[in-house]
Amino acid sequence: MSVLLAIDTAAPRLALAVLAGDRVDTLVEDMATGQAERLFPALDELLVRSGFTYADLTRIAVTTGPGSFTGLRIGLSAARGLALALRLPVLGIPSLLALSLSAGRDPVAVLLDARRGEAYFQSFAGAGLPLREAALLPMTEAQAQVPPGAATITSPLVDIAALARFAAAADPARYPPEAAYVRDADAKPQEKFRIPRVPA
Q: How far is CA 110 from the centre of its chain?
A: 13
Residue type, 199: P
Beta sheet of 3-8, edge-to-edge order: 23-30, 13-20, 3-8, 59-63, 90-93
Residue 161 confidence (pLDDT): 98
The DSSP symbol for 62 reads: E
The pLDDT tens digits of the residues spanning 70-120 come to 999 999 999 999 999 999 999 999 999 999 998 877 899 999 999 999 999
Check pLDDT > 50 for residue 45. yes
Domain ranges of the chain: 3-96+156-193, 104-153
Under 8 Å between Cβ of 61 and 164: yes
- CATH 3.30.413.10 for domain 3-96+156-193: no
β-pair type (13-20, 3-8): antiparallel
Using DSSP bridges, classify how beta strands 90-93 and 59-63 pair: parallel, antiparallel or unpaired.
Answer: parallel
Per-residue pLDDT, 185: 45
pLDDT at position 10: 94
In this predicted structure, what is the pLDDT of residue 21?
A: 93
Between CA 159 and CA 108, with CA 186 as vertex, the angle to 5 degrees is: 30
Q: Please report the pLDDT score of residue 182 as a whole number.
A: 62
pLDDT at 51 over 90: yes
Beta strands 59-63 and 3-8, pairing class = parallel
Residue 21 identity (one-letter amino acid): G
Number of helices followed by number of strands (H, E) in the chain:
5, 10
